[in-house]
């Protein structure tokens, strides 16, 4: 039996957003920006011949076009991200990459170096 290993790869994008559902006086209701850091994780058995779970290049091929849809955008203007919280961004990315990444286990979003969320699918 081959051991199961979890791989991850980090991506980033710069975007502006506002959170329309917070109180009027909340600082995040105003338009502001972040350099979002995204970590995508997949899990699976280590291939006997390849020695890996998945080629990192395959992860990049699937994830980079999705990240490009978010980079230097006003996230509120993207369909499905009208309330672009980290939680919604993680789910939005998951829904666009899951079919292309067998073994997807998590999408992690970090708005700042101290704050973030992890979405593990349904």
Confidence at 2, pLDDT banded by 50, 70, 90: confident
Q: Which of 26, 61, 72, 87 is catalytic?
A: 72
State yes or no: is 72 an active-site residue: yes
Q: Is residue 119 included in any domain, yes or no?
A: yes
Match 């704050």 to its residue by tokens: 115
Name the DSSP class of 30.
S
Q: Which of 9, 28, 37, 117 is catalytic?
A: 28
C-alpha span between 49 and 55 (Å, rounded) = 13
CATH at residue 26: 3.30.479.10
State yes or no: is 111 an active-site residue: yes
Name the DSSP class of 55.
-
Tens digit of pLDDT for each residue in 71-119? 999 999 999 999 999 999 999 999 999 999 999 999 999 999 999 999 9
C-alpha span between 15 and 31 (Å, rounded) = 10
Average pLDDT for residues 10-19, to the nearest whole number?
98
Q: Is residue 91 included in any domain, yes or no?
A: no
Domain count across the chain? 1
Tens digit of pLDDT for each residue in 33-84? 999 999 999 999 999 999 999 999 999 999 999 999 999 999 999 999 999 9
Which phi and psi angles does 121 have, rounded to 5°?
80, -175
Judge contact between 23 and 85, C-beta under 8 A.
Answer: no
State yes or no: is 74 an active-site residue: no
């Amino acid at each position: 039996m081959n051991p199961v290993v979890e791989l991850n790869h980090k991506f980033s994008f710069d975007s502006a957003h506002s959170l329309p559902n917070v109180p009027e006086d909340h600082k995040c209701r105003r338009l502001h920006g972040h350099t979002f850091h995204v970590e995508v994780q997949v899990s699976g058995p280590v291939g006997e011949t390849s020695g890996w779970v998945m080629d990192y290049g395959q992860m990049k091929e699937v994830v980079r076009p999705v990240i490009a849809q978010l980079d230097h955008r006003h996230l509120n203007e993207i369909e499905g991200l009208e309330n672009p919280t980290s939680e919604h961004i993680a789910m939005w990315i998951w829904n666009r990459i899951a079919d292309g990444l067998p073994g997807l286990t998590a999408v992690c979003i970090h708005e700042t170096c101290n704050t973030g969320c992890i979405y593990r699918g349904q």
